[in-house]
Structure 1
Amino acid sequence: DFFKDATFGVPAGEAEHSYSPRNDVTIQRDRGFGVPHIYGDGRPGAMFGAGYIGAEDRLFLMDVLRHVGRAELSSFIGGSQGNRDMDREQWRIAPYTDADLQKQFDQLDDLYGAAGAVVQEDVTNYVAGINKYICEATPANPGCATRGISPAPTAGSRNGNTPAQKLPGAYAAIVPNGDPGIEPELFEVTDVIATASLVGGIFGKGGGRELDAARLLEKALAKFGGPGGNAVFDDFRRAEDPEAPVTSTGNFPYRVPNASPAADSNGLPDAGSTDESEVVARRGPAGRRGGILDGLTDIQGASNALLVSGAESESGTPIAVFGPQTGYFSPQILMELDIHAPAVGGKPGIDARGASFPGVNLYVQLGRGRDYAWSATSAGQDTVDTFALDLCNPGGAPVTDLAAAQGYMYRNVCEPFEELRRTNQWVPNVADMSPPGTETLLTKRTKLGLELARARIGGQGQTPGTPVVYVQLRSTYLHEVDSALGFVDFNAPEQMETSQEFQQAAARIGFTFNWFYINDDDIAYFNSGNNPVRPAGTDPDFPVRACPTAATDRCKYEWEGWNPANFTATYTPFGEHPQQVNKSYFTSWNNKQAAGFSAADDNFSYGSVHRSEPLDDGIQARLAGGEKMTVPELVDAMEDAATVDLRGNKVLPVLLRVLGDETDPAVRDAITKLQAWQRDGAHRRDKDNNGVYEHSEAIKIMDAWWPKLVEQMFKPTLDPALYDGLVDMIEIDNPPHTRQGSAYIAGWYSYVEKDLRALLGEPVAGAFSRRYCGGGDRATCEADLRGKLQAAIAEPRATTYADPQCDTSDNAALDDQVCFDAIEYTAVGAVDQPLQRWQNRPTFQQT
C-alpha cells in the first residue's frame, strides 16, 4: 500500500482507456494513475505511440522545451526577463542553426552504423506520433494535409474526441512571434535534438569555469604572493581531497593537474585585461520579472541512489532505492510510460517502464526492464574546457582593438568567426504582459568552441600581452543526440542481462552521469561521459593556450584526436571510467566518484563533508554488527537523509568542540539547544505534524549563525576581494530556501569543518596550507565564533526568515521556517500548486 505498483502492463479489468492512434500500436491507460502502457507490433509502432502519448500528456510543456532548446522561449511565450535570460543562456552554451540540428540527426548512421540508423528511425516515428496528436487537436492546421496526416480523432483516447478537448488551454494565453496563427506548429526531428541539447546541457556536463578560476587565482596571488597564493587557491579548490566521500572504492585518475605545466600552454589572462563577450547583440525593452521555467537552470546536479548487495540484504538478493531530482513543476518535467515491442527485423526489442523527459520520451530514461532496474545521478565531471586562441584579422591587418578583431589563429590559419544569430520578437499576451519587443542574440563559433571572452596573455611590465579570444568547448556539443544509443540498450532486455552489459550500455552515453543497475544477482555502477583526453603539459583548472606554435596539422594543446569538421575527439577508454560491481553497498548524491577522479574546475565542493554522508550513515547503522538490510529499512535511510540539515549533522559537532564550556547563560542555552538538535539527527522536519519543526529554536540559531560565522572565519585572512571571488565560485550555503527541494549539495561545509579540526589539533588528511579561523589562533577563533553566535541569538526571526512570499494570504498561516524552506512548483501552463513542505529527495523514485 505504500508503493505505487510499477509492474508491466495493466491487470485484467483495470484498463480505463484502450486505443490505437496507428494500426501498429495499442495504448492502454490504467484506472489508478492513467499511466500510458504502449504495445507496438515492432519498434516503429512503439515509437509512434510514445510520441502520441507524450503530446497527449505534455504537449504544451513539450512545445515550451523545444523552444527553450532553440533559444526561442521569449518568442513563444513572452518577453519576461526570466524567459529572455533562459534564451540567452541556451544561446551561450548550445547555439544551433536548423542545419546544425539536422546534421546531428543525419550523421547518426554515418558515425554509428546500424545502431545510429535505429535511432534515426525511432525519432522519425516518434515525431510522427506527436504530429498525429497535434493534427487531431488542430485539424485546420495546413501542415497536416501537406504531410498527409489525418486529423480524425483516435477513438477511445484519453483526452476526448474534439479538438477543444485535446488542445491544452494554455495555448489560448499566448501569441507566439506576435502572430495569432494556429498553434502548436507540427514537430520536426530537429525539435527532438533541440530538446535533447537543453536537457543534456543542464544535467549532463561539468566544467567550463576555467576563466573564473584564473581570476580567482589572480586575487590569491595578489594577496599571498606566488607559492602562498597557489596554496590558498588549492585549499579551496578541493580537486582531490583524500577525505571526500566516494562512490567507487577504486582509483581512477582523470584530469590530474600537471605539477609543472608547460610554459607555452599557459592561457591565463593578464590582470584586468579580460572582457567577457556579451551574448545579447541587440537588447529589447525591459520585461516583467520571472519566467515560465524559472528554476530549471537553477537545478544543480542532483538525484540520489542507495543500493545494497545481496550479501548484505535480508532476502539475499540486491535491493535499491534510487531516482532523479529534477525540481518541481506543474505539470512535472518528468513523465511516466510503460513501453513494449518485440525484436523484429534485426532491431532490438523494448520492454521498459519508468520516467522520461517530455519531448525526448521515446525511451525510458530512468526505470526498469524485465528483471533489472537502473537510475542515475548527475556526475558533472570535467567535459568543458576553455582555450585561448590568438586573435587576428583575415585581411592581415594587425589587431589593435580586441573587440574589433574578426578572426582567430587556428592551425596557422587566420579563420573568420562564424556568427550565430537568433532574433526573438514578442507581444503582450495573457500569459506574459511584458511590453512588445525584439532581441538579437549572437554567439561566435570557432573550430575549437564558442567565444566566451577576449583578453591579453603573456604581458610583461609595460609590454602588452598577445590578444586572444577565449573559447569554450564541450565534448557533447553537436553530439547531444548520440547518447540515445545508450538508452536504446537500457530499454532492450537482450542488451541488459548482466551488469557488464549494463556498464557497456552506459559507456555509450556522452553526458556526465553516475549510472546504477540492479538485477537478481548484482548491483553495479558506471560513470558515463565523453571525457576528453588532454595533452600532457596542460593544467585543466585554467585556460589553455591551444595553438602556441605554427603547426598546421594540429594545435599543440587542443584535445587529443580533435576533429573540427565533426567536433569529435579521443575520449578516455572504458576502463578509466569509475565503475564497480557488487560493492557491499553504493550511495551517490552527486558526491565524488572515486579517488583520483579530480573534481571539475567549476566544482569546489568535493571536500571532507558532503550530503551523501547521511545516506552512508543510514545504511551503516542498519548493517552494524552483521545485521542485514530490508527494502523498508533502505527507504527509511533515504527518507531520514531527506530532512537532514548537513550543517547541523556534520559541521556543528566541531563548532561546539571549539566553543567548549560556556559561562554566558544565553550562549549556554543556545548550545544546549543545538546539542539536542544534533543528537536527534539535525533534521528540519515536523514529525508530529503540528505545523512547526522540532528543535525550531536550534534551527533558527543555526540559520542566523552560519553566514556570520563563515564570513568571520575566512574573510579577515583572505581579504574581501578574494573572499567574494570564492563565494562566487561556491556559495557559503545551499539551503532549502532555493525552493527546488534539492539542498546542501555545495557550500562551505568542508572548509569550516576541516579548518576547525586542524585548529583543534585533530588528524586532518589533505589539510589546508594555513589555519584561517582567528588567523590560526584558537582563542581568537573561539571568541569570533562566540561573538557571531551571540549575534545570531539576538537576530529576530523576522529578519532570519524574511520572505514576501510567506506574507501572502495563501501562506500567512504557515510557520515561518516551514514556509521559508517550502518547495515551490513552477507552473508550465494554467494549473498551479500550493507550497509543499521541504524534503531533499528524488522527484521520481524506484524501490
Structure 2
Amino acid sequence: MAHHVRRRTAAALAVICATSLAAAPAAAADGPDAAALMAAVEDHCGENGCHDILPPGQNGNATLVDILGNQLFGTRPAHSSDQLDMYDDLLHDYQGLDDAGLDSYFMDASFGVAEGDVGREYSPRDDVSIIRDDSYGVPHIYGETREGTMFGAGYAVAEDRLFLMDVLRNLGRGELTPFAGGAEGNRSFEQMLWSTAPYTEEDKQAQIDRVAASGERGAQALADVDAYIEGINAYIDASQERNDYPGEYVLTGHKNAVTQEGEIEHFKPTDIVGIASMVGALFGGGGGGEVQSAVIKLAFQNQYGEEKGAELWQAWRMENDPEATVTVDGDFPYSGTPEDPVGQVLPDEGSVEPYDIVHDEQGSAGGDGSAQAAASQQSTAEGDEQVSDLPEEDRADLEAKAEEGDLEAAEGIFNEGVLPADLAEPRGMSNALLVSGEHTASGHPVAVMGPQTGYFSPQLLMVQELQGPGISARGASFPGTSFYVQMGRGTDYAWSATSAGQDITDTFAVDLCEPDGSDPDTSSRGYIAQDGSCTGFEELTVENAWEPTVADQTPAGSYRLTALRSEFGLVESFATVDGDPVAFVQRRSTYMREVDSIIGFQKFNEPETITSAEEFQKAAGDIGYAFNWHYADAEEIAFMNSGANPVRAEGTDPNLPIAAGSEAGWQGWNPEDNGADYTPLEQHPNTVGQDYLVNWNNKVGRGYTAGWGSGSVHRGDLLDGRVSALIEEGHDFTKSSLTRVMMEAGHTDLRGEQVLPVLLRALEDADTSDPQVAEAVAALTAWEEAGAPRREAARGDGSYQHAEAIRIMDAWWPLLVSAQFQPGLGEGLYTELTRAVQVDETPFGDGGHKGSAYQYGWWSYVDKDLRSVLGEEVEGPLGEQYCGAGDAEECRTLLVDTLADAAATPAEEIYPGGDQVAADTVVHQPLGGINMWPIAWQNRPTYQQVVEFEGGRG
C-alpha cells in the first residue's frame, strides 16, 4: 500500500457525506414481500450443491470519495474485492480440498439469501424487491411482475456497473474517445469494434424492430429490454439526485464535483444492441482471416512449388487434424476445404493493402501509463478496507477534496485507457469439465465450468439472481445485457459457455470500378454490385475529438473513423487478382443480427422451457453467436455448439477468399438483413449422456472448424488427459475432486507436460556432455516428472518450484522454434506463419498479467516434426521434416545448441525485472477508478461454477 490503512477506532464513526456511502439507499417504494417470494422459489441444489465466484467483487461502482480514498489510502468500496483472495487461495490450497471446504473458495450459489445474511432489502418500485446478501453484495431480485423483475435487473446492474456500461455503450457507438479520453487503449479498442461492427442508430433499431415483430417471444424479449432500461435510468436519476453517482464521471469531465453540473445520459434500446455487438465480436465470433490464409498459401507455393506448396499449406492449416483432442464424439463436418473448389480467389503476390479505418488523425498516443501501472500494483492488502474504516481526519480530508474538486490524486489513472488495448485481442480462455453420474460418488453429474473474460476491476461480468413470472436463474451476465442470466443455473440445471470460434465469417472479393467507366485501381471506391452497377461503398463515419481530462491526460486530438460497407460485407483490404483491382470484404453471419440471440438466452432463464437436456440444446440453437454450451442437471450432462452457421454452396472454400460474383457463397443469403440458410441443429456438434465433457476452446468435433495449429497438442489436453485417466482408474468424482483437476491443469505449463517429453527423448542420444547442458537436461527432467507446474511451493515464497527449469524452457522455446523451422520454411514463409499462429503464449508474454496462457502457439508443429524426425508414428504429419532438415543427428545437435543458449540466458533478459513469479502474476486491469492487488498466475475461468444437483422436478 502507498499508505498504511489504520483500522477502525473504538469510537463511533461519523458518517461522511452521501458521496462516500458504500451502499446508497435505493428509491423508496413499498415493494412485495421478498421473504414470501423467496420461500416460493423451487431450488434443487440441495445442501452445498451449487457454488460460483467472480473476482474481484460484486460492487463495481465507486463514488468520487471512494476513488480518492483508493488512490491515497488504498481503501476500496464494500464488496469490490472480497472474492479476490478466495479465488487466489484455491490455487494454494486445492490439494487438500474436499466438498465441505468449497465454501472457503466459492460463494454459495443457492437461490435466495440465508437467514442472517441479508445486507440490504429495498424496492426501487412497488412490484420488485432486491435483497443484497451481506456476504458478497450479490443482488437477488424478486419481482411480482415480469416487468418489475426486469426493472429490478436494470436498477441492480446500474448500481454495480453504471460507468462500465456507459463505457461499453459509447464503444458500441464508436465514440469511446470523446467519452473517456484519447488514450491508446481507448483508441485501439474503438477502432477494432468500428472495423467489425460499425452500426448507425438506424441499423440498430432495424434489428430491434425485426426481432420484436418476429413473434410472441421476440415481443416479450424487447418488452423485457424496455423495462430493464427503465430500471437503469431510474438509478441514473436517483444517483444524481443523491450525488452518489460513479466518481469516474467527474474524472472524465461529464459531471462537476463542485457545482454538480452535467447530466448522465439515459440509456435506450439501441445502446443495448451496441453492447451486445461488442460482446459478440469479442467472444462469439469465428472465422475470417481468409486473406491472411491466402497469403500464407502463396508463400508455401513460392517456397515449394504450386502443387507441393498447396499440400503443405493444407497440412500446416490443421483444419481437421486426426491427433487433435475433441470434446464431442462423432463426426460433424463443416467448413472444410472442398476437393473441387469453385469461386476461389488468391490475391497477386505482394498486392494486399490493408484498409485503415482511421483518417485525419491528430494528437499523440498520450502518457506512458505510469500512473495506472503504479496504481495497479499499489496494494497487496487483503479484504475490503473502506473509506469508513479510516480515522475521522482522513475521512474529512477526502470529503473536502471531493467537495472542492481537488482531484490531483486521481490524475492520469486512465492514461492507458479506460479499456486496455489487449481487451481487443481475440478471446479463447474459458473451460468446462463435466462428468456423468456413472463416474461420480453421488450418482449425479458434477460440473466445474465458466467463461474466462479477462481480469479487470470491475469485472466485465456481474452476478445476480432473477426471480419473477417465468424467470428463475442465478449467474453471470454482461452489464448492459443482464436482463437475462447468460451463464449460470436454473431451478435444477446449470449451463456455461466457452468461445467456439467456428467459421461464421467469410471473405469475398468484389471487383472495383469507377462510376465514369474509367479503369479502376486499388484506390477506387466503387464496386460492382449484384445488379451489375458500379456502386460506391457506403461510408460509416464517426468524427471523434477528445480533450485532456483528470483521468486521461492524453493531449487533445481528433480523428475520423470510416468503415466501408458494401452489400457483400465490410471492407478489410484492397488487392489485385490477376492484375484486376478488388476489395476484400468480410461478412459475419451475426452482423446486422446481433439481437437475434436474445431468444436463446430468454429460454435459458425459463424453467418451464428447460425441462431436459434436449430442450436446453434447442434453446442453444436459437443463439447465433459461436459458443460451446455445456449443461448439467441431476441426471445428464450435455453439449451443444451454437452459431448461425451459413450453408455454403457446393464447392465453396471458406478457408480462402470467395469471388463475390461466382456461384460460391451462402445459400439463401439476403443482403437486406444479412439473413441466410443455416445448418440445422443436428449438424452442430452435440451430445447428451457422454461419459465426460471437457473443453478449453479446443476442437469440438471431428470435421468441425478448427483454427491454425489445432493439432496434436492443445491446452485442452491438460483437462482431457486428467479426467480420462481418472475415469480409467475407476475414480468416483466429487465436486471437490473435479475442482482439483481444474486447478492442477490451471497451473501447468503446457509445453512442459505435452512437448517436453519428446524433447527429452530426442536428447537421450545427444551429446550433452557440456556441464551447463547436462544441468539443464536434469532440471527439465525433474520438472517434467513433477508435472511441469508453474507454482510456488507455498503462497508468498517469491519463487517457483523448479524455477530454473521454467526459466530454461521460457528462454528455449522461441530459440527452438526458430532454429527448427526457419531454415526449411525460409524467412518469408516462417514470418507469415507466425502471423497466423504466434510462437508462444506464456503467462508473462505480450505484457503478461492476463492469466490466460497456452491457447495459441507452435506446440503441435514442434511435437509432430520432432516425432517424425525421430521415426515415431505421426498421424497428420506436416508433410516435410524440418528439424535438422530431417536428419535425426543434426536435429539433436540443434536441440543441444539452442538449449545451451537458453541455459545461458539470464532471467533479466526473459522477465521484466528478472522476477519470474512477478512477471506471471495476474493483475486486474482497471476499468474504473479502483485498483486491485496482484494474485498468483492461474489459467482459470474468471466466473466459475461448481454444481451438483441432488434431484429435479421429475
- Contact 1:425/1:439 (<8 A) preserved: yes
2:337 is the counterpart of 1:257: yes
Aligned to 2:548: 428
Corresponding position of 2:839 = 732
Pick aligned residue for 1:666 from 757, 772, 785: 772
SS of 2:937 mapped into structure 1: coil
- Alignment CA distance shift 1:188-1:378 (3 Å): same
Counterpart of 2:588 (choices 470, 474, 477) is: 474
Partner of residue 679, structure 1:
785
Which amino acid is 1:635 matched to?
Answer: T
- Greater than 3 Å deviation, 4+ residue runs: 176-181
Give 1:107's aligned residue: 210
Residue number among 91, 104, 110 corresponding to 2:194 in the alignment: 91
Corresponding residue to 1:123 among 225, 230, 240? 225
Indicate the RMSD between aligned Cα atoms, in angstroms. 1.6
Mapped contact 2:510–2:585 kept (Cα < 8 A): yes
What is aligned with 1:318? Answer: 445
Match of 1:817 in 2: 916
Q: Which amino acid aligns with 2:817?
A: V
Partner amino acid for 1:319? V
Structure-to-structure mapping, 1:381-460, within 5 angstroms = 381-393=502-514, 395-457=515-577, 459=578
For the Cα contact (< 8 Å) 1:674–1:698, is it kept in 2?
yes
Counterpart pick for 2:616 among 462, 485, 502: 502
Which secondary structure state, in structure 1, belongs to the residue aligned with residue 632 of structure 2? Answer: strand
Q: Give 3-state SS (helix, strand or coil) of 1:29's partner.
A: strand
Amino acid at match of 1:508: D
Task: Indicate the residue corresponding to 1:773 in structure 2.
Answer: 883
Unaligned 5+ residue runs, structure 1? Answer: 140-162, 343-348, 460-464, 549-555, 807-814
Q: Distance in 2 between matches of 1:408 and 1:284?
A: 34
Report SS of the residue matched to 1:107. helix
Give the structure 2 partner of residue 369 of structure 1. 490
Where does 1:511-526 land on structure 2 (aligned, <5 Å)? Answer: 511-526=625-640
Partner of 2:412: none
Residue aligning to 1:235: 315
Q: What residue number does 1:154 align with?
A: none
Write the distance in 1 (CA, Å) between the matches of 2:875 and 2:811.
30
Counterpart for residue 267 of structure 1: 345
Q: Which residue of 1 aligns with 2:756?
A: 652
Query: Residue 836 in 1 paired to residue 935 in 2?
Result: yes
Q: Is the Cα contact below 8 Å between 1:760 and 1:778 reproduced in 2?
A: yes
C-alpha separation in 2, matches of 1:178 and 1:709: 57
Distance in 1 between residues matched to 2:503 and 2:223, nearest whole Å: 32
Question: Which protein has greater RCO, CA pairs closer than 8 Å, 6+ apart?
Answer: 2
Q: CA deviation at 1:177?
A: 12
Q: After superposition, what is the alpha-carbon deviation per residue over 1:747-780, rounded to whole angstroms, capped at 9, x for unaligned? A: 0000000111111111111112111111111111
- Which of 927, 941, 944 does residue 845 from structure 1 map onto? 944
Cα distance in 1 for residues equivalent to 2:418 and 2:218: 34
Shift of 1:687: 2.8
Q: 1:142 is matched with which residue?
A: none
Of residues 268-277 and 433-442 in structure 1, the stretch that sits farther from structure 2 once superposed is: 268-277
2:526, 2:534 within 8 Å by CA — same for their partners in 1?
no
Q: Determine the structure 1 residue equivalent to 2:417.
A: 291
Give distance in 1, aligned partners of 2:341 and 2:453: 39
Partner of 1:280: 358
Q: Could you say what secondary structure the match of 1:711 adopts?
A: helix
Q: Paired residue for 1:715, among 822, 825, 838?
A: 822
> Contact 1:755–1:773 (CA<8 Å) still a contact in 2?
yes
Specify the code of the residue in structure 1 equivalent to 2:550: V
Partner of 1:254, secondary structure, is coil
Offset, 1:20 = 1.0
SS of 2:202's partner is helix
- Measured in 1, the distance between the counterparts of 2:595 and 2:261 equals 31
2:455 paired with 1:328: yes
State the alpha-carbon separation in 2 of the partners of residues 434 and 83 from structure 1. Answer: 11
Gaps of 5+ in 2: 1-102, 369-415, 947-954
Q: CA deviation at 1:299?
A: 5.0
Provide, for residues 505-526 of structure 1, a one-character-per-residue CA deviation record: whole Å limited to 9, x for no partner: 1110000010000001100000
Which moved further from structure 2: 19-28 or 583-592? 19-28
Within 1, Cα distance between the matches of 2:724 and 2:338?
37
- Contact 2:526–2:537 at 8 Å: present in 1 too? yes
Aligned to 2:702: 595
Q: TM-score, normalised by structure 2?
A: 0.81
| 1:530 counterpart residue number | 644
CA distance in 1, matches of 2:631, 2:537: 45
1:371 Cα deviation after fit: 0.5
- For 2:550 and 2:932, locate their aligned partners in 1 and report how far apart those are by CA, in whole Å: 19
The one-letter amino acid of 1:436's match is A
1-structure distance, mates of 2:549, 2:917: 35
- Report how far residue 396 of structure 1 moved: 4.2
Q: Which amino acid aligns with 2:329?
A: T
SS in 2 for 1:38: strand
What is the Cα deviation at residue 176 of structure 1? 5.6
Residue type matched to 1:132 in 2? A
Matched-pair contact (CA < 8 Å) for 1:449–1:473: yes
Query: Cα distance, 1:543 vs. partner?
Result: 0.4
What is the deviation of 1:663? 2.5
Match of 2:162? 59
After superposition, residues 11-50 of structure 1 pair within 5 angstroms as 11-50=114-153
Aligned length: 786
TM-aligned CA deviation for residue 632 of structure 1: 1.1
- 1:184 aligns with 264
2:30 aligned partner = none
How far is 1:18 from its partner? 1.0
Q: Give the direction of change, closer, same or farther, for the CA distance of 1:177–1:435 in structure 2 (3 Å limit).
A: farther
Report the equivalent of 1:136: 238
2:673 and 2:499 map into 1 onto residues whose CA distance is 26
Listed one character per residue, the Cα deviations across residues 704-735 of structure 1 (whole Å, up to 9, x for unaligned) are 10000000000000111110111111101111
Tell me which residue corresponds to 1:9. 112
**Which amino acid letter does the alignment assign opposite residue 841 of structure 1?**
R
What do residues 561-593 of structure 1 show as CA deviations (whole Å, max 9, x unaligned)? 000111101111111000011111000000001
Aligned partners of 2:829 and 2:262: how far apart in 1? 54
Distance 1:535 1:178, change over 3 A: farther
Partner amino acid, structure 1, of 2:718: P
Per the TM alignment, residue 542 of structure 1 is displaced from its structure 2 partner at its CA by: 0.6
Q: Which deviates the most, 230-239 or 578-587? A: 230-239
Q: Any conservation in 2 of the 1:687–1:694 contact (CA below 8 Å)?
A: yes
Q: CA deviation at 1:621?
A: 3.2
Q: Give the conservation status (yes or no) of the 8 Å contact 2:255–2:261.
A: no
Give identity over the alignment, percent: 46
Give per-residue Cα distances to partners, 1:630-670, cap 9 Å, x unaligned.
Answer: 21110100000000000000000001111114322221211
- Once structures 1 and 2 are overlaid, which stretch shifts more, 585-594 or 80-89? 80-89
Q: 826-835 vs 237-246, which deviates more?
A: 826-835
- Asked if the contact 1:248–1:580 (Cα under 8 Å) also holds between the matched residues in 2, the reply is yes
Higher mean C-alpha displacement, 10-19 vs 639-648: 10-19
Task: Quote the Cα distance in structure 2 between the aligned partners of 1:777 and 1:383.
Answer: 42
Q: Distance in 2 between matches of 1:821 and 1:605?
A: 24
Inter-partner Cα distance in structure 2 for 1:178 and 1:755: 63
For residues 278 and 176 of structure 1, do their structure 2 counterparts lie closer, same or farther at Cα, with a shift above 3 Å needed?
farther
Measure the CA separation in 1 of the matches of 2:426 and 2:534: 40
* Counterpart for residue 544 of structure 1: 658
Distance in 2, matches of 1:618 and 1:247, equals: 14
1:177–1:427 CA contact under 8 A, matched in 2: no
Task: Note the 1:218-229 alignment, pairs <5 A.
Answer: 218-229=298-309
Do the aligned partners of 1:299 and 1:327 also contact (CA within 8 Å) in 2?
Answer: no
Q: Matched residues in 2 for 1:455 and 1:682: separation?
A: 46
Q: For residues 619 and 632 of structure 1, what CA distance do their matches in structure 2 show?
A: 13
Q: Does structure 2 conserve the Cα–Cα contact (< 8 Å) formed by 1:108 and 1:116?
A: yes
Distance 2:865 2:464 in 1: 49
Q: After TM superposition, give the deviation of residue 164 of structure 1 in Å.
A: 2.3
